[in-house]
Chain A
Amino acid sequence: MRVSIPNPAAAGLAVVVGAGTTAGADMGLLAPAAAALGVALAFAVVLLLTRPTTDDADTRVHRMVVAPVALVLAVAAGVLGGAVVDWWLIEPVAYPLGALIGSVAAFLLYRRLATTLALSVAAVVAAGVLALAVTALVLWISGVAPFHAFGRMLEFGLQPDSLVIMVNSGTTFYLSAVAVAIGFKMKLFNIGVDGQYRLAALMAAAVGGAWVLPPVVHQVVVITVAVAVGGFWAGIAGYLKVTRGVSEVISTIMLNSVATGITAYLLNTDRLAVQISTNNIGTREIAETGWVPGIPAGFMGADREIFGLVVLAVAVGVGYWLMLNRTRFGFDLRATGQSPTAARASGIDIKRMVLLSMVISGMVAGLVGMPQLLGQSHYYALDFPTGLGFTGIAIALLGRNHPVGIGFAALFWAFLDQSSQILDFEGIPKEIAVVTQATIVLTVVVVYEVVHRWGLRYQQQQVGRELARGDREEAAAS
């Protein structure tokens, strides 16, 4: 029972229903619940009035997977949109606006969402639920009420200051994960991001502290040094692999240790370091011309500032995506990762690709320490954060090496890190967040493999159907 009405009219009607319901329900319900209800109704309108434009409309897969995923995403978009708009506008206005966003999303998603993408999203959601269930089980076994703990984490994690910290650590995590992901795309395991960014940050801090340059030039010089050092350090592993066949896993682990040794040697008051406080030494502080100012987060009610270099992370993400999907180099990279034999037959110089991708991975790794260095501490000291390279590996896995996926994964990771801080005050070990993080990485990896196989079978079935149709036409013709 499908009424045929033009698409713009259907979209308009959905928006009116969504926003209107939200505004009405806002009187009686909590605003987010009202927005969810509104978007859900708008989705129903879309469902009744339009058809998906994808090839597999009206199949069981579409009804069972794509439509529910579209619904969930639309509702999430509506509620999140409302919450963000709420920072500037009053609630009765903000949430209907959010519902409006959600309704448009409902219209677009229902009609356009590709099956494989929907499957991936469903997989991530499933993995998340599974990871939370495992965490709840661990909490319950250790005698803590799981929902109490989760409630406290959610409450603390959503406070404005926590959100700012989440974005800031997410920025660092993101850069680290992209560095790892570039290697992963080539089936190269760059475990050395950790050493690369620490060495790069130390050198960049030393150079930045030694010279005083005009603004902009100063930052550019510091960042360039970091990129060069990171690329060089990773390039050693690449060079060894290409010329001597040394596994990059081994060499990067070793180079991590060497980097630790070098930083310990250089970070000494006889060499690069100065006394910062009674029990801390670090490089000379970078002059203010070299700082990257933060973005005030007063609009969301926070006192802290967001790292200015969040822009750099976004740029790196866009660049990574462009490089991978739009350039010849990215094509060669992906081809080599998928099938070195086919890559060689197609004329790709595999050794060159290994060396280059290792160097590029290291260059991005060099950026990992920059938001912290230029945005907050302004010197490299003994307390500079370590281990970010390993976090990057987990986040790259979680985000499936996709620039957007990594973004969500980095924020999620940072959210768990930040929100678990409250648990200490409740007498609950905050390491519980680590359990969640570990479980979700494992489950995502497993669930994705399953989804990958489903996707392949699904495509094969579609091809089979196409062939069967060709045969039928032939039979009909003869």
Chain B
Amino acid sequence: MSSAPSGGGEAPPAVELRGITKRFPGVVANHDIDIAVEAGTVHAIVGENGAGKSTLMKTLYGMHRPDEGTIAVKGETVRLGSPSDAIKHGIGMVHQHFMLADNLTVLENIVLGAERRGGIGRGARARITSLSEQYGLGIEPDRLMEELGVGQRQRVEILKVLYRGADIVILDEPTAVLVPQEVDELFENLRELKREGLTVIFISHKLDEVLSVADTITVIRRGTTVATVDPGRTSARELATLMVGGELPVPELRESTVTERPMLEVGNLEVGEPGGRRVVDDVSLTIREGEIVGIAGVEGNGQSELIEAIMGMRPVERGTVRLDGRDITGWGTLGIREAGVGYIPEDRHRHGVLLESPLWENRILGHQGEAPNARGIWIDRAGARADTERIVADYDVRTPGIDVIAEALSGGNQQKLIVGREMSGRPKVLVAAHPTRGVDVGAQAAIWDHLRRARSEGLAVLLVSADLDELIGMSDTLHVILRGRLVAQADPMTVTPEELGAAMTGAGLKDAAGSGGEGEDGA
């Protein structure tokens, strides 16, 4: 921390939050948050999903006002009524989901909305170039946004914030979208920012990353700050204990339950886009009874389309999908579901639940035609309600009742309901896309448990995830998808997240375990 160039030991903290309380109509509010961020440091804020990190950052970025407590920036108490107030005080935020226009150049994206600082022409270009050099971001102002990769886009977002004069940069879960190599690059950038005297607030729930980059770590649990620690004197395990107030669950499978009976066979599957581009290209894979097959890949490489094609939501151009020996290629989604395929969609809110409907109606969704939800053309209310009560009890969905609308539940509880629903009626195959995304650690462990249990009872699972630990820990077989093709197969017993990350970017897996694996499966 000697790098902090704060003049005189007694400089006020860059940001000081005192007694912040936000009563929020929702599950987690903030209460009694106390954080002091020293100038010129990287300050990490960690906590499990739903602990209140985002609420806190929104408060700091002026997106909503705290009910109690004060915010001081550089020693001066401020009232942040809107993001533009925050920017005026030098606070900038890089959101988890980028806000960039693909069809504009880097330069245009950066000046958009900030035209009054240095115009849109030569002045702006000079400033961008000098900022990029100063902080070592390596940005070319004239590239088109759509040509850039995820890591580069993130750097553009950071530069956008710097361009607006921020000297306190908030990064919300910046590594969620990056592969390990890109994470390292990002951390190099952050260290550079710090050397130049900027303050970085880094929000994450990935402990190893936090330990490697932060100067100070504040842990948030259930809406309040529980500890502020020095990364030099703590370990991931200690942090995890602080975060969850208990042991951190690890995804792992015990003994193999894989049998020889293929349940889902995908053969030379091809899916095209309206534009003619092939988004799934000659994919073949087999999932056997009691087996979990993981698909690793950077988002946007065809995983979603592969799943949608299997679920009958996207037309298949070529190839076959067979369920337990039966050809289900070209079937409708309902037919496929009723034939015994459960589906945990990747976007819970868009595909998994009816937000404005009560829980028991959400139990029916996707299972309209089966017992206990329906009898002939009629909805069986009593049956559906009783079964919802069962799911709420068995899957530990925290809710006051089954008449509450889904939107009122936290993400983890919504997901537990979905998992419970899709596991009902003994499916043969479960297609699970990011089953633990955005859910808290407790729910994550519970969902893994349910997957393991169902696997030991013979369920075949197709698991798509961005969480490499989850993929490695839960899969019996692991494929890597790149630009719509399965490019490598890895052995989850031996592969490391770094190797997998490299394979996902196309660096190749040195034919570790998967030499010709696809060819055999595709028969």
A and B from one complex? yes
In the bound assembly, the distance between CA atoms of A348 and B313 in angstroms comes to: 10
Residue contact A344 to B381, C-beta cutoff 8 Å: no
- Residues B343-398 near A (CB distance < 8 A): 343, 345, 347, 350-357, 361, 364-369, 374, 377-379, 381, 398
Residues A345 and B368 in contact in the complex (CB < 8 Å), given A55-B401, A464-B27, A470-B398: no
Residue from B350, B361, B369, B400 in contact with A465 in the complex, judged by beta carbons closer than 8 Å: B400
Question: Which residue of the partner chain A has the closest CB to B26?
Answer: A460
Q: Is B144 an interface residue (CB 8 A)?
A: no
Would you call the interface of chain A mostly helix, strand, loop, or mixed? helix
Task: Return 7 A-B CB contacts under 8 Å, by A number.
Answer: A335-B365, A342-B353, A342-B365, A345-B366, A346-B334, A465-B400, A470-B398
Q: Is A408 an interface residue (CB 8 A)?
A: no
Which chain B residues lie closer than 8 Å to A329 at the CB level? 377
- Residues B317-359 near A (CB distance < 8 A): 332-338, 343, 345, 347, 350-357
In the bound assembly, the distance between CA atoms of A457 and B335 in angstroms comes to: 37
Residue contact B404 to A463, C-beta cutoff 8 Å: yes
Which chain A residues lie closer than 8 Å to B357 at the CB level? 334-335, 338
| Contacts A330-B379, A331-B361, A341-B347 known; 4 new A-B pairs at CB < 8 A | A339-B354, A460-B408, A462-B400, A462-B404
Which chain A residues lie closer than 8 Å to B355 at the CB level? 338-339
Which 5 A-B pairs give the minimum distances between C-beta atoms?
Answer: A347-B334, A346-B366, A457-B25, A347-B333, A345-B351
In the bound assembly, the distance between CA atoms of A457 and B29 in angstroms comes to: 13
In the bound assembly, the distance between CA atoms of A471 and B27 in angstroms comes to: 12
In the bound assembly, the distance between CA atoms of A91 and B365 in angstroms comes to: 54
Which chain A residues lie closer than 8 Å to B407 at the CB level? 456, 459-460
Residue contact A347 to B377, C-beta cutoff 8 Å: no
- Residues A277-332 near B (CB distance < 8 A): 325-332
Residue contact B398 to A466, C-beta cutoff 8 Å: yes
Q: Is A467 an interface residue (CB 8 A)?
A: yes
Minimum C-beta distance from B414 to chain A (A): 11
In the bound assembly, the distance between CA atoms of A456 and B408 in angstroms comes to: 7
Residues A327 and B379 in contact in the complex (CB < 8 Å), given A456-B407, A462-B404: yes
Q: Is A257 an interface residue (CB 8 A)?
A: no
Residue from A331, A339, A462 in contact with B408 in the complex, judged by beta carbons closer than 8 Å: A462
In the bound assembly, the distance between CA atoms of A328 and B374 in angstroms comes to: 7
Residues A463 and B378 in contact in the complex (CB < 8 Å), given A338-B356, A342-B350: no
Q: Is A269 an interface residue (CB 8 A)?
A: no
Q: Is B222 an interface residue (CB 8 A)?
A: yes
Q: Is B139 an interface residue (CB 8 A)?
A: no
Residue contact A328 to B377, C-beta cutoff 8 Å: yes
- Interface residues of A, count at CB 8 A: 34
In the bound assembly, the distance between CA atoms of A329 and B355 in angstroms comes to: 19
Q: Is B409 an interface residue (CB 8 A)?
A: yes
Q: Is A155 an interface residue (CB 8 A)?
A: no
- Residues A318-373 near B (CB distance < 8 A): 325-332, 334-335, 338-339, 341-342, 344-349
Q: How many A-B residue pairs have CB under 8 A?
A: 115
- Residues A433-478 near B (CB distance < 8 A): 456-457, 459-467, 470-471
Question: Which residue of the partner chain A has the closest CB to B308?
Answer: A345
Q: Is B14 an interface residue (CB 8 A)?
A: no
In the bound assembly, the distance between CA atoms of A345 and B344 in angstroms comes to: 10
Minimum C-beta distance from B358 to chain A (A): 10
Q: Is B4 an interface residue (CB 8 A)?
A: no
Residue from B222, B332, B352, B353 in contact with A347 in the complex, judged by beta carbons closer than 8 Å: B332
Which chain B residues lie closer than 8 Å to A341 at the CB level? 347, 350-351
Which chain A residues lie closer than 8 Å to B471 at the CB level? none
Minimum C-beta distance from B48 to chain A (A): 14
Minimum C-beta distance from B365 to chain A (A): 5
Most chain B Cβ neighbours within 10 Å, of A329, A334, A347, A463: A347
Q: Is B399 an interface residue (CB 8 A)?
A: yes
- Interface residues of B, count at CB 8 A: 48
Question: Which residue of the partner chain A has the closest CB to B29?
Answer: A464
Residue contact A467 to B334, C-beta cutoff 8 Å: no
In the bound assembly, the distance between CA atoms of A459 and B405 in angstroms comes to: 8
Which chain A residues lie closer than 8 Å to B25 at the CB level? 456-457, 460-461, 464
**Chain B 65-90 per-residue mask, 1 if CB under 8 angstroms from chain A, else 0:** 00000000000000000000000000
Residues A344 and B333 in contact in the complex (CB < 8 Å), given A327-B378, A328-B374: yes
Which chain A residues lie closer than 8 Å to B243 at the CB level? none
In the bound assembly, the distance between CA atoms of A459 and B27 in angstroms comes to: 10
Question: Which residue of the partner chain A has the closest CB to B398?
Answer: A467
Minimum C-beta distance from B69 to chain A (A): 20
Residue contact A55 to B351, C-beta cutoff 8 Å: no
Which chain B residues lie closer than 8 Å to A325 at the CB level? 379
Residue contact B408 to A463, C-beta cutoff 8 Å: yes
Minimum C-beta distance from A323 to chain B (A): 10
Residue from B354, B366, B379 in contact with A328 in the complex, judged by beta carbons closer than 8 Å: B379
Which chain A residues lie closer than 8 Å to B178 at the CB level? none
Residue contact A463 to B399, C-beta cutoff 8 Å: yes
Minimum C-beta distance from B222 to chain A (A): 7
Q: Is B198 an interface residue (CB 8 A)?
A: no
Residue contact A467 to B365, C-beta cutoff 8 Å: no
Q: Is B311 an interface residue (CB 8 A)?
A: yes
In the bound assembly, the distance between CA atoms of A463 and B402 in angstroms comes to: 11
Residue contact B368 to A331, C-beta cutoff 8 Å: yes
Minimum C-beta distance from A357 to chain B (A): 16
Which chain A residues lie closer than 8 Å to B366 at the CB level? 345-347
Minimum C-beta distance from B400 to chain A (A): 4
Question: Which residue of the partner chain A has the closest CB to B311?
Answer: A345
Residue contact B333 to A463, C-beta cutoff 8 Å: no
Minimum C-beta distance from A320 to chain B (A): 15
Which chain A residues lie closer than 8 Å to B351 at the CB level? 341-342, 344-345
Residue from B222, B336, B367 in contact with A471 in the complex, judged by beta carbons closer than 8 Å: B222
Minimum C-beta distance from A40 to chain B (A): 31
Residue from A328, A331, A345, A349 in contact with B352 in the complex, judged by beta carbons closer than 8 Å: A345
Residue from A327, A344, A346, A463 in contact with B409 in the complex, judged by beta carbons closer than 8 Å: A463
Residue contact A338 to B408, C-beta cutoff 8 Å: no
Residue from B356, B365, B400 in contact with A346 in the complex, judged by beta carbons closer than 8 Å: B365
In the bound assembly, the distance between CA atoms of A335 and B355 in angstroms comes to: 10
Which chain A residues lie closer than 8 Å to B361 at the CB level? 331
Which chain B residues lie closer than 8 Å to A348 at the CB level? 333-334, 368
Which chain B residues lie closer than 8 Å to A461 at the CB level? 25
- Residues A168-197 near B (CB distance < 8 A): none
Question: Which residue of the partner chain B has the closest CB to A461?
Answer: B25
In the bound assembly, the distance between CA atoms of A349 and B378 in angstroms comes to: 18
Which chain B residues lie closer than 8 Å to A55 at the CB level? 400-401
Which chain B residues lie closer than 8 Å to A344 at the CB level? 313, 333, 351
Minimum C-beta distance from A356 to chain B (A): 13
